[in-house]
Structure 1
């Protein structure tokens, strides 16, 4: 689930490897694609958080609803992805967007998915080549095999809120969790019963995932729960925590896909 730049460099020409650039900026939605056009890992395709890894926003469902499965599967097929393909996603935001693709792939039944540890910055620091050449479409057949039990909706959260064997994890920064600051959504605060594990804390300053041992310690207070329901603002950076749970050997994580932006779109009680 994690590859280093050096691991990647020795396998970059493999026909069974597809690399996906997921760089994105919530403040400037065009920036990630512009960066990709200026320079990316050779052979990498680009997927946009808003256009490719989400579906259109509705009245409810959050700011980044899960993408339509058939639409994303068609795009993955055009990259040459089959059941045998290893897919490596990267960004430059401490897994904020690469982890979304990693989680989506596994949710759609493709377990041969990984993220580039340290992202594009670590790749460049290793002195590896970049290009502005856009790869051609390839012939593939991505067949989704959904794992619907990995996703929880608002009603599912409400049903689980008071269950002692379930932990609800808010992945946003502490200020947003506590309701002291809310720069995006119309309502501040958190879902009652949630505990706060900010997503940035599972990586170091270089954007590399903390060691499995460190992560097991970090998650120790929720590790024994039968289910760990993870959310953030819109179901994107929560995937970083799901990645970190998996790295710690904890496989009970589920995503509240609509997250706080869905929760607060309803009357709060």
Structure 2
């Protein structure tokens, strides 16, 4: 099953009984902008889910800037917006799919694979002239029963155990300059986890902001074809998710998320830090 649906598909199927549309718009540094944008206009029938209020737990000493949410609370939220075992969830944002991919990954982690992101997001939807509304969606409560898949998630200790392990590849999803440690405007320490390769998540998009097809995603990761395990991280566990999705689209199966990511890694003073581009070393 494809994890990306087209604008045309959602326009034709958005009102189907089993389809649940979720607006995930959110901007780091302006946390109210997503909800404000949603209240102004959104895709008809869409529910709003907030990155920090719904898809993350409060920040603590460890766990990163966006720790995974309380799963019982998330399951209850999903049930309130109509997600049950038969639902097909379509998530969108206006930031290239990063926030929508976070919901995609969390649903996958909770054992619900009937979920996709909207190609082109809300920006493309409005540019195309598809309908928008400021009307709230009709509530259709359901029961969401999670079936957690712990095998696709790694803790900081599990990542440390894998450093230098043959067959395991770490992927850093941040911008190259942050990966190399040349700049860091968000976290207090610059650099990357030793041994990690850099694959900027936005390289999975075309210049028009559309999702690259599976063949082009495979080209981004062609050097990983012999990897036995791929561990993906970013700054806080959010923009790693589109790379996890891209890897799955490219045919990789043993892909895991280090949800705490760089912001969690550097919260432990004893953890090693690397700088520069290791692939050019």
TM-score, normalising length from structure 2? Answer: 0.94
1:43-82 equivalences under 5 Å are 43-82=45-84
Count of residues in correspondence between the two structures: 269
Match of 1:108 in 2: 110
Alpha-carbon shift at residue 218 of structure 1 (Å) = 1.1
Match of 1:242 in 2: 244
Alpha-carbon shift at residue 224 of structure 1 (Å) = 2.1
Match of 1:122 in 2: 124
Match of 2:42 in 1: 40
| SS of residue in 1 equivalent to 2:224 | coil
TM-score, normalising length from structure 1? Answer: 0.98
Answer yes or no: is the 8 Å Cα contact 1:108–1:145 preserved in 2: yes
Alpha-carbon shift at residue 125 of structure 1 (Å) = 2.3
| SS of residue in 1 equivalent to 2:13 | coil
1:210-221 equivalences under 5 Å are 210-221=212-223
Question: Structure 1 residue 168 and structure 2 residue 164: aligned?
Answer: no
1:168-224, CA deviations, whole angstroms, 9 ceiling, x for partnerless residues? Answer: 000000000000000010101000111100111111122211111111111111132
Runs of 4+ in 1 over 2 A off after TM superposition: none
1:134-149 equivalences under 5 Å are 134-149=136-151
Match of 1:153 in 2: 155
Match of 1:190 in 2: 192
C-alpha separation between the residues in 2 aligned to 1:239 and 1:99? Answer: 5
Match of 2:275 in 1: none
Alpha-carbon shift at residue 137 of structure 1 (Å) = 2.5
1:34-72, CA deviations, whole angstroms, 9 ceiling, x for partnerless residues? Answer: 000000000000000000000111100000001111000
Query: Which 10-residue stretch deviates more, 23-32 or 214-223?
Result: 214-223
C-alpha separation between the residues in 2 aligned to 1:92 and 1:67? Answer: 22
1:233-256, CA deviations, whole angstroms, 9 ceiling, x for partnerless residues? Answer: 000000010011011111221000
C-alpha separation between the residues in 1 aligned to 2:7 and 2:145? Answer: 29
C-alpha separation between the residues in 2 aligned to 1:153 and 1:221? Answer: 25
Match of 1:19 in 2: 21
Answer yes or no: is the 8 Å Cα contact 1:167–1:227 preserved in 2: yes
* Residue ranges of structure 1 left out of the alignment (5+ in a row): none
Answer yes or no: is the 8 Å Cα contact 1:3–1:114 preserved in 2: yes
* Residue ranges of structure 2 left out of the alignment (5+ in a row): 273-281
Answer yes or no: is the 8 Å Cα contact 1:6–1:126 preserved in 2: no
| SS of residue in 2 equivalent to 1:97 | helix
| SS of residue in 2 equivalent to 1:115 | strand
Match of 1:255 in 2: 257
| SS of residue in 2 equivalent to 1:104 | helix
C-alpha separation between the residues in 2 aligned to 1:21 and 1:139? Answer: 17
C-alpha separation between the residues in 2 aligned to 1:205 and 1:141? Answer: 40
| SS of residue in 1 equivalent to 2:64 | coil
C-alpha separation between the residues in 1 aligned to 2:34 and 2:225? Answer: 35
